[in-house]
Amino acid sequence: KKMENGKAEINCLEQKVIHRVSSADKVTLQDIARESVGTICEKMHRLPEEYLEELKNGLRVILEGGNGSQHREEFFILQKFVQGRTDLTAKTLVRAHRVQLEILVAINTGIQGFLHPSISLSQNSLIEIFGYKRCRNIACQNQLPADDCTCEICNNTSGFCNLCMCVICNKFDFEVNTCRWIGCDLCSHWTHTDCAIRQQLICMGPSSKSGAGPSEMVFRCQACNRTSELLGWVKDVFQHCAPSWDGEALTRELDYVSRIFHGSKDPRGRKLFWKCDDLKEKLKSKKIDSKAACRAILIFFQELEVDSAKGLENGESGRLIAPQDACNRIAEVVQEAIRKMEIVADEKMRMFKKARMALEACDRELADKYREVAELKMERQKRKVQIEELEKIVRLKNAEADMFQLKANEAKREAERLQRIALAKQDKSEEEFTSNYLKQRLNEAEAEKQYLYEKIKLQETSRASQSSNGGDPSQMLMYSKIHDLLYSAPPKPDTQGHPFRTNP
């Protein structure tokens, strides 16, 4: 059984190797981008898996852009074809081939991750990503708009996800625990630090604590148009994430902080800018290692916080505060505390909701995987049953062929035996016919001889009677010659003219 299965697998591999695709059945990336879903789907179902993988690899090479401007131009042409079509709706894409759908999504988003063999999203997820109903970030996969946000950017920007994409460039990456991203304290939208600096969204602004005067560096969110202070945010990032950074990551983060506070005019921001530049130079010249630099920046933040507290106390002790002002200050502090608590609660709720959505997405993905595995098992079992049936048919046909061959050999031997019998009977019948013929001729000759003998005898009798009366002497001479011939040599059978004559 194992040998038969091995032969079947070898035959299957040989069939795959020798399989060729005709020119009429070939499908190109341009065909997928331009022609109707049903036509391409029908063709792709007839194509081997190797050809479909070559199509995906070809698009992956174009997206990588290894050939420079030529690949970029090819991709822009394909994307223009896809984005200019109106027939690519959820109803039509449901009937699309799996590889066809992956290629369309990769062209529309420009992300080659959808073509990777180890990444397999469900067909519904791919359709939602193509229709901008789901985040195109494979690591996020949230429904859009994320968190049911109603801001102008989330509602008007196709495919934008406020959980992982930059408000300005609408791009995402996989950087976490870094100053490369700036988050808004109020609306929780994210922006690349580089994009914020380029759009001049990082600038001097009124302090979120005092609300008076341009006293510190703030970030103005483009989504909600409100400001968030940056010094506390940088301090929180370093306190929570810096211990896990290596030397290269720490240098990169210090560079981000230097660029953020480059235009700072408040004392604390300037001190932070100088401190970051100093630590960068020491790390570059290897005067200190990354752990020492990490400790130094954390100690600096602690000292900066102590100095700020002392300055606030000195400023308040130098003048008396009216009771009404004191009450107002206390009310502001309480409101600020409540606001921060609400922000924290909202953030916790958002994180909980995100985690729940991620769990639900994982459950759906797991259910899809289980369903796909079950379908693959059923398909495999069906193929196995078909192969076994084909093997049974082949064995039956081989047995029938052997049986017919055996019967043919027996019939051949029987025909040869009958032929030998027929030849023997033919020879025997020829001999019997010849013998009977010779006997018949011999009997005829004997009868002729007897007849002539009786005739001669009769003539002799008549001659004797005539001689007594004086007969013709010539006639008597003739009768005597005939008599001598009959008794001197008996007649031989004449077989010269017969077709069965045999030479003695």
How does pLDDT run across 351-398, given as a tens digit for each residue? 778 888 888 888 888 888 889 999 999 999 999 999 999 999 999 999
Is 173 in the same domain as 286? Answer: yes
Is 14 in the same domain as 124? Answer: yes
158 in any annotated domain = no
pLDDT band at residue 268 using 50, 70 and 90 as cut-offs: confident
Token pair in block for residue 135: 């985040």
Chain mean pLDDT for the chain: 80
Q: How many helices (H) and strands (E) does the chain have?
A: 16, 5
216 in any annotated domain = yes
Does an H or E element contain 114, and which?
none
Is 324 in the same domain as 207? Answer: yes
Token pair in block for residue 293: 């630099």
Is 106 in the same domain as 53? Answer: yes
196 in any annotated domain = yes
Residue type, 3: M
Is 104 in the same domain as 192? Answer: no
Cα three-residue angle 128-86-73, rounded to 5 degrees: 85
Question: Residue 7's pLDDT is what?
Answer: 43
Token pair in block for residue 195: 């994009």
Is 107 in the same domain as 181? Answer: no
Q: Does pLDDT of 242 surpass 70?
A: yes
Record the pTM: 0.55
What's the structural domain count of the chain?
Answer: 2
Percent of the chain scored above 70 by pLDDT?
79
Q: Does pLDDT of 287 surpass 50?
A: yes
Q: Domain limits at 66?
A: 1-131
Is 329 in the same domain as 232? Answer: yes
Q: Does pLDDT of 496 surpass 50?
A: no
438 in any annotated domain = no
Is 214 in the same domain as 311? Answer: yes
pLDDT tens digits along 139-173: 888 888 888 888 888 888 888 888 889 999 988 88
pLDDT band at residue 203 using 50, 70 and 90 as cut-offs: confident
Is 53 in the same domain as 175? Answer: no
Question: Residue 64's pLDDT is what?
Answer: 84
145 in any annotated domain = no
Is 125 in the same domain as 209? Answer: no
Is 85 in the same domain as 188? Answer: no
319 in any annotated domain = yes
422 in any annotated domain = no
Among 317, 334, 351, the domain boundary falls at 334
| CB distance 124 to 115 below 8 Å | no
Among 316, 334, 352, the domain boundary falls at 334
